[in-house]
Structure 1
């Protein structure tokens, strides 16, 4: 028996079967523009998958503040029609199967906890570094959603005059560089420019790592995790851990009474993290 696991994104819906810790029958379709078509697409995915494997349930990774208590996806995302009404019972009726729902960043964290870089830890923090900074708080191997479903929204943290997302997102870092220099380069190109001696690039890159290090250091002493895992596109860069470790050591030296250096590592999973984590979430619930 297998699960159907679905990762709903702003432009693409990815799906696969999940059995014995492995994904199979992977596919993807465009995300529809309206709710009725969304239901039709999902129902077809389930019908087609049911011809290949025996399904016991549907595990879903979704954007927004997913409330497990009432089956509502609060907040906002690139898919506005899925928000602010009880969507879970409608999905269960459409699929004719039990459904689990979890936020996409939390699913990525659960993949690491169940099968990846976090499998040997009880308490950890998970950072997603992309167009903004998101993440998850995991305590006792469970997601801590918080009283307002805002657990893990690290990007809202204020770092001097800006949020962490403003300072430490490679996309927003590139935006600041471009605004000052009249250029149109990517975050990856800004990192390369800094490495080649561009002084303006070095300033924004140093700010990215300094603010990220301060955030991790502060959270280490607020929540005391065993490890902090880093995900997002930048996590594939060889320079991430060395540069962030150096920035952390600099912050650590500023606090004379500090005795704990945060332990950091990159995530194991990349593109399939949300699919795997959604399945782990379903298994934990059932």
Structure 2
């Protein structure tokens, strides 16, 4: 029997189910992905079991770590809320997978996993108190204190996207941070101003247009950075973390980080004197896997 110890780690996504065998230092021995099963919970569990058993002859698997969308209750193993994978909600996922594989199982929310990865091995290594802001279709994130997630009474700690950013609309909920400052909001604004179908644009295209000198794209990006900076300013003065990290695919663009920081520098006066700055998350595609493993190691000992 192979004596190499490993941990089976899964990142449950709406499109793909990513997996890896990793060591306790966060290094990958093996990795892969498969389409997230669309045929329901039973097929999903079978695939988890099949992949795990496929590596059991080559590694002494110590357990299974899961990264999942939704409002994850890490104590009970239930996934609340909603996601693109309806069948994972309302069942005790950890027990079901443990019964299939005879291995201990842990589970954590995907955004929280990304934040934990940064604190363990990434941009927040050695930092006691930081926040991660994930910018994508909406805006989410995590608050991390001493490598523990601040979850909140209703498991909504870090749901920064719900902040209301203005009162101009009759319905203030039309102006949450997610609705006015997400990548999705940026694309919608450019499409509206250029009288285009939203489906004809994406974030990459908006940045390409701006690089080519398109005035509307450049103006929309400037507004985008300002709206992000205002929300970050609010979070800094509310939570006062040691470090603020920006995640999501858009964070890998240096001009996004510099654009936000330029706007943050303008939000200073004789009263608001804090120097507020953001940094990009270090991990991208592997963040959820690394954070899920860290959560397993921490909770399972």
> TM-score under structure 1 normalisation?
0.95
Residue 201 of structure 1 deviates from its aligned partner by 2.2
2:154 aligned partner: 148
In 2, Cα distance between the equivalents of 1:263 and 1:202?
Answer: 22
| Contact preservation (8 Å) 1:13, 1:28 | yes
Q: 1:154: Cα distance to partner?
A: 1.0
- Paired with 2:210 and 2:136, the residues of 1 have a C-alpha distance of 19
1:159 to 156, 165, 170: 165
Select which of 218, 234, 240 maps to 1:218. Answer: 234
Deviations 1:58-104 (A, max 9, x none): 00000000002222100000000010232221121112111110000
Displaced runs of 4+ in structure 1, greater than 6 A?
A: none
Q: Which runs of 5+ in 1 are unaligned?
A: none
Matched residue SS, 2:51: helix
Query: Is 1:56–2:56 an aligned residue pair?
Result: no
String of CA shifts for 1:193-216, please: whole Å, max 9, x gaps: 335443322332122111111111
Aligned equivalents of 1:39 and 1:156: distance in 2? Answer: 33
Partner of 1:23: 28
CA distance in 2, matches of 1:95, 1:221: 46
2:74 aligns with one of 57, 68, 73: 68
- 1:129-157 CA deviation, whole Å, 9 max, x = no partner? 11111111111221111111111111111
* Aligned twin of 1:87: 93
Q: Write out aligned runs for 1:75-154 (5 A).
A: 75-154=81-160
Task: Give 3-state SS (helix, strand or coil) of 1:150's partner.
Answer: coil
| Structure 1 residue 167: Cα displacement | 1.9
Q: Distance in 2 between matches of 1:160 and 1:195?
A: 30
* Cα shift at 1:233: 1.0
**CA deviation after TM superposition for structure 1 residue 284, in Å:** 0.8
| Residue deviations 1:201-249 (CA, integer Å, cap 9, x gap) | 2332122111111111111111110001111111111202211111101
Give the whole-Å Cα distance in 1 for the aligned partners of 2:28 and 2:132: 22
Cα displacement (A) at 1:56: 0.8
Is the counterpart of residue 32 in structure 1 residue 46 in structure 2?
A: no
CA deviations on 1:134-189 (whole Å, 9 max, x unpaired) are 11111122111111111111111111151111222223211221123223332222
- Pair 1:261 & 2:275 matched: yes
> Aligned with 1:261: secondary structure?
coil
Measure how far apart 1:52 and its partner are: 1.9
- 2:299 alignment partner in structure 1: 285
TM-score, normalised to structure 2, is 0.90
Residue aligned with 1:239, SS:
helix
SS of residue in 1 equivalent to 2:84: coil
2:177 paired with 1:173? no
Q: Which region of structure 1 is more displaced relative to structure 2, 41-50 or 169-178?
A: 169-178
Structure 2 CA distance, aligned partners of 1:159 and 1:207? 13
